[in-house]
Amino acid sequence: MVENDIDPELAEELLSVCRTVVGDELRSVTYFDEERVEQVYLRSDLSRTADLVGFADHERMGFRSQSAYRNTQLGEYEATIRMFENGFLTRVIEGEHGVWVTTDSHSIDRFEELTTALKSVLGDR
């Protein structure tokens, strides 16, 4: 795993926003940019077997694919939500960095709230 400690203040803010919005359904929070990936949080009942580098390689494609959605009638890109058997992955990219958050099931309103909050935190950096 590639880990280059992110700013502790940013990590704390990301985790705080996620816990506030998602609550007990929060599974993990992972920060990434083109060079690094760091798991900020992993719920205690989950194992540390995820291939973070592999996930990051896939999620980094979002840096490039955002341009494909520019100037469409859909509006600006906000987030990517992926559905899995045991939960969801929400990816938010703002500028040169991003975060993916995994959660148990919850309503679409919470995804929107989570996206807005994460974009705000990432945009401030």
**pLDDT tens figures, 2-49:** 455 889 999 999 999 999 999 999 999 999 998 899 999 999 999 888
Q: How far, in Å, CA of 76 to CA of 115, rounded?
A: 13
**pLDDT tens figures, 45-83:** 998 888 888 888 878 888 777 777 778 888 888 888 888
Closest Cα partner for 60 from 13, 15, 89, 96? 96
Q: How far, in Å, CA of 83 to CA of 42, rounded?
A: 19
Full set of structural domains in the chain with CATH? 8-123 (3.30.450.30)
Q: What is the pLDDT confidence band of residue 125, given thresholds at 50, 70 and 90?
A: confident
Report yes or no: 14 and 99 within 8 Å, Cβ to Cβ. Answer: yes
Tokens of 81: 């939500």
Cα torsion angle, 33, 121, 78, 103, sign? positive
